[in-house]
Amino acid sequence: MEQPTLSTEVILTHPQQTIGNVQLDWSPQPGSYLDLDGKTYAVLERHHRYQLRAGRYQLHKIALYVQSAPRPLERSLVAGRWVLGDVSCRFNAQSELIRCAVNPEGPCEACQFYEQSV
């Protein structure tokens, strides 16, 4: 069965401005990446916009708050979600948005702060 498309407003967080309205056939979650007009953006937040129709609220539009970001090369699948960096490191944040506290920009390879997690 084909997934229905939904109108999605893409909003840059800083400076806050709408950078596009697109029809997506997938539901981007925070931490995922979106390519739009040749640029890559990290999804920070997702908001649903509802509209009252015939006495019922129906999902009308999705607003994605994004920031410009390169698509990371170091990702690991942990418990069904993608996290940045080397998850075997003690300092890994286990986050889709930030790699770690001591070396947030990365890369993890040959990082001087690497410590094996226990």
Per-residue pLDDT 10s for the chain (118 aa) are 555 788 999 999 989 999 999 998 888 888 888 999 999 999 999 999 999 999 999 999 999 999 998 877 777 778 877 788 888 888 888 887 788 888 887 777 788 888 887 6
The answer to whether the beta carbons of residues 24 and 8 sit under 8 Å apart is: yes
Tell me the C-alpha distance between 59 and 7, whole Å. Answer: 10
Tell me, what's the pLDDT at 69?
A: 86
End-to-end CA distance of the chain: 45
The answer to whether the beta carbons of residues 95 and 89 sit under 8 Å apart is: no
Query: Quick one: the chain helix, strand, coil %, rounded to 5?
Result: 0, 50, 50
